[in-house]
Structure 1
């Protein structure tokens, strides 16, 4: 990458009024010369209206990605309107959250509710640092939409609160339980007699068998969005060396990126990149590579449990999506076979400086009802973070496979947070991982580059640091 002048986080925040280039994860803030308007004075609160929702409009922005936006317009918003008929809902969607909404934050008029997801999500750490995130702790302590005797916090997996806490405040709501793994067609595997590899040697042998068959390529990933590949790389490193590998990276520990488990993982995936990738992978996005799999042009790819819904328009009826975890790398892996990366995702925020944050929190409370969460799960074939919301629902093959993998993993699950804490580190990881997989960076140089960027962030006093 060309050398660029270094700027501090605060300078980045003050420059947020400029529309960012596509893909940037720049911070969002209200310039000092343009103070944000004060929040709406709340209406009277009650058990039925715990936040004091008034009559001002509610503006909602949805990331139009793997889950689409029908869940918002057809499930969540009608439920909210059933109680608050006088509140106008202004619904919007985009695939470019940062590019479209950063100027709104800079101008001091952010919308109330944002599904801050997708490849170009806004930098959560910068939003928190600049006071843009509404404290959602009152939401946790509010009565649930369905049952006034049950608090909202009692409906949520505890990891939602842990991962959504910034600077000691719960401010980011992960709505979907993202379950990551290697995805394939059960029909294709059955038709070819291919077995799920439980060791890395078996995985490479399977790749070789598929390659020699000439029927399809063994492996691909979203080349234009290399975070799809750094996910299995990091999960593999944690499996080899234990969960502390990821904790150290999150905490910006010295040498965390260049640790031995990370080097082993980088070497393993670089070999896949050199030998078994579908031709042209580097120039394709997630939909193109996933569609190639639907067309039986490639056998396997890494993704999360949103995949099935995202591809529903191109997936053959008998495709039968399924997933398997990262295979065992050595006989002395720190974590057992079945270890998974799973964590709350599809992150919703309420803008603290919006005109009607009370309505924003109430909108989230409606989303977290069992009916809304269950209807969501059924519509978009995935699992929410609301406990028991999918019980008795018609769940698809892919979600069934992913849910079984989570059950089999038990306590052997891992996650990481650096990519939402430090936007510039995420940008660096995407660029560097893409070069690793195309041979432009050797594994050791790849990790040294990542460590250098992590050290820059660690030593930049203008950036708020987070700890696990």
Structure 2
């Protein structure tokens, strides 16, 4: 990965990552630090049959980390890779001196569920990806550490502040389950559609802001043998980005909150949900999908999109880093907020943006104090900048990136979209963390819809049934959005 680059958009002007970072300072997402590096290998801790690692609690050591010992780190090696964590681990080792075990994997559940069951989980886990261990299940089983003490700990760069004071407003709440924080969602992620600036320039298309304009581009593409929309069919999480964004923009923040708050009319009685799901299904009915996309996984569909076989694809802002090897140099990756339907309560500029990539500390971790300190150090400018350099994405740390760091075109356009969107028009769903079974049921219904095995009315019925079932859980009363 180079340190500088420019990209040519539809207007033919070059975009400098350095200029983007300067503009991003206005968002409270950027500032100045240092960096580091490391590798590690194997080990396992055990929570119950071995003594916990614990040192003396001091002003500079708020969790009582013991020097030396071990630290067991597991990272989801997906769109962001895991090199950033390897870099972090050297910085941690320099400070505390443990032997560090590092595992980068996409098989989070497969690798870790047996360890949680046996009571010897790792000390820090980036619990993400398609095989993420369900956070609500871990919480119900008492296997997640309460991270309130992390929020109340001194900020690593300014001990006069607490960690909670240096996070982008509203992002800590994404990790709340049952009224308390149990995961640190570290990456400031933007969700929506993505396209090639070069393709748009070559075809003479205008960037669509309305749903009708979006369909018009797709229909013109179809005439030229290009799919209008690719989606990651084997992982319907991605098409739900499109569906749920459209519902929130059509019905406004109240429509989004109704879903998170398990309203008995969240889907079945929602005009916004009905209008949105029918609009998405229109793409299917008109044959505007990339042929075969329903059977592709995320890398296969995204690579086909990079090859110019489709115009749009739904994803979060990890897409650029995940597709580095497959993206042509002149591709000019661009982010597009979800185009709006007639009568939409939120404007085109409104975007889903918020905290993602949940990091957890298991309650039975052998080095629980070390795990908490690892998360606290993640909130430093140094570690935040390391992440931006390695993963081409921003974090939830305010003033968290060195202003000299330059970002790639897709990240640049995502930041521009955030900058153009007023804070009160940014939205984010919580149900995916709060109610994993509900989330899975809606994903399954969406996969059936995109394959034309069910109609929009049936999708609404199944989605509402998933909401109603989640509402039967007594713990759901603790998860409410105002």
Distance in 2 between residues matched to 1:452 and 1:36, nearest whole Å = 40
Q: Which range moves more in the overlay, 295-304 or 133-142?
A: 133-142
Contact 1:39 1:354 survives alignment (8 Å): no
Pairing 1:368–2:379 present:
yes
1:102-181 mapped onto 2 (5 Å cutoff): 102-181=113-192
Q: Deviations over 1:285-329 (max 9, x none)?
A: 111111111111111101110011000011111111101111121
Shift in Å, 1:262: 0.6
Question: Which residue in the other structure is 1:8 paired with?
Answer: none
Among 213, 235, 241, the alignment partner of 1:202 is 213
Q: Does the C-alpha gap of structure 1 residues 231 and 323 become closer, same or farther in structure 2, counting only changes over 3 Å? A: same
Shift in Å, 1:51: 0.9
Question: Which residue in the other structure is 2:430 paired with?
Answer: 417
Distance in 1 between residues matched to 2:59 and 2:149, nearest whole Å = 13
Question: Which residue in the other structure is 2:443 paired with?
Answer: 430
Distance in 2 between residues matched to 1:254 and 1:37, nearest whole Å = 46
Among 286, 310, 325, the alignment partner of 1:298 is 310
Question: Which residue in the other structure is 2:463 paired with?
Answer: 450
Pairing 1:92–2:103 present:
yes
Normalised to the residue count of structure 1, the TM-score between the two structures is 0.89
Among 289, 310, 324, the alignment partner of 1:312 is 324
Distance in 2 between residues matched to 1:279 and 1:244, nearest whole Å = 36
2:189 counterpart SS class: strand
Shift in Å, 1:273: 2.0
1:1-40 mapped onto 2 (5 Å cutoff): 36=48, 40=52
Question: Which residue in the other structure is 1:232 paired with?
Answer: 242
1:159 counterpart SS class: coil
Q: Which range moves more in the overlay, 166-175 or 197-206?
A: 166-175
Shift in Å, 1:451: 1.1
Q: Does the C-alpha gap of structure 1 residues 464 and 129 become closer, same or farther in structure 2, counting only changes over 3 Å? A: farther
Shift in Å, 1:36: 4.6
Shift in Å, 1:157: 1.1
Q: Deviations over 1:159-178 (max 9, x none)?
A: 22211122232221011011
Shift in Å, 1:148: 2.7
Q: Deviations over 1:375-416 (max 9, x none)?
A: 211221111111122333111111110011011111211111
Pairing 1:57–2:70 present:
yes
Shift in Å, 1:210: 0.7
Distance in 2 between residues matched to 1:156 and 1:418, nearest whole Å = 22
Contact 1:183 1:321 survives alignment (8 Å): yes
Among 411, 434, 439, the alignment partner of 2:452 is 439
Cα RMSD of the aligned pairs, angstroms, is 1.7
Contact 1:123 1:421 survives alignment (8 Å): no
Q: Does the C-alpha gap of structure 1 residues 392 and 192 become closer, same or farther in structure 2, counting only changes over 3 Å? A: same
Among 377, 395, 417, the alignment partner of 2:407 is 395
Contact 2:53 2:366 survives alignment (8 Å): no
Question: Which residue in the other structure is 1:241 paired with?
Answer: 251
Shift in Å, 1:459: 2.1
Pairing 1:250–2:260 present:
yes
Question: Which residue in the other structure is 1:261 paired with?
Answer: 272
Contact 1:141 1:151 survives alignment (8 Å): yes
Aligned length, in residue pairs? 431
Distance in 1 between residues matched to 2:302 and 2:182, nearest whole Å = 33
Shift in Å, 1:114: 0.5
Question: Which residue in the other structure is 2:299 paired with?
Answer: 287
Pairing 1:221–2:231 present:
yes
Distance in 2 between residues matched to 1:61 and 1:454, nearest whole Å = 32
Distance in 2 between residues matched to 1:406 and 1:92, nearest whole Å = 33
Among 388, 412, 417, the alignment partner of 1:377 is 388
Distance in 2 between residues matched to 1:185 and 1:282, nearest whole Å = 21
Distance in 1 between residues matched to 2:218 and 2:373, nearest whole Å = 49
Question: Which residue in the other structure is 2:419 paired with?
Answer: 407
Pairing 1:336–2:347 present:
yes
2:400 counterpart SS class: coil
Contact 1:112 1:357 survives alignment (8 Å): yes
Contact 2:262 2:468 survives alignment (8 Å): yes
2:394 counterpart SS class: coil
Q: Deviations over 1:97-137 (max 9, x none)?
A: 12221111111111110001011211111222222111112
Distance in 2 between residues matched to 1:183 and 1:436, nearest whole Å = 22
Pairing 1:79–2:91 present:
yes
1:389 counterpart SS class: coil
2:201 counterpart SS class: helix
2:388 counterpart SS class: helix
Distance in 1 between residues matched to 2:72 and 2:179, nearest whole Å = 27
Structure 1 runs of 4+ aligned residues shifted over 3 Å read 34-39, 460-465
